[in-house]
Amino acid sequence: KQWYQRRVRGDSIPWLSSDSPSGTLVRHYVMVQDIMDQEFYTKQFVAKNKDDEVFRGTGKYSDILDLQQGYDVDWEDNQSLKRDTRLVYYCVPVPGRNCWTRPSHDVTAPSRDVTTSRDVTTTSR
pLDDT tens profile 83-121: 899 999 999 988 887 777 666 545 554 444 444 444 444
What confidence tens digit (pLDDT) does each residue in 45-58 have? Answer: 989 988 988 888 88
Predicted confidence at residue 102, as pLDDT, reads: 66
Distances in whole angstroms, Cα of residue 12 to Cα of each of 7, 9, 71, 86:
10, 6, 35, 26
Which positions ≥6 away from 78 have C-beta within 8 Å?
Answer: none
Query: To 10 degrees, the CA torsion angle through 15, 19, 22, 27?
Result: 10
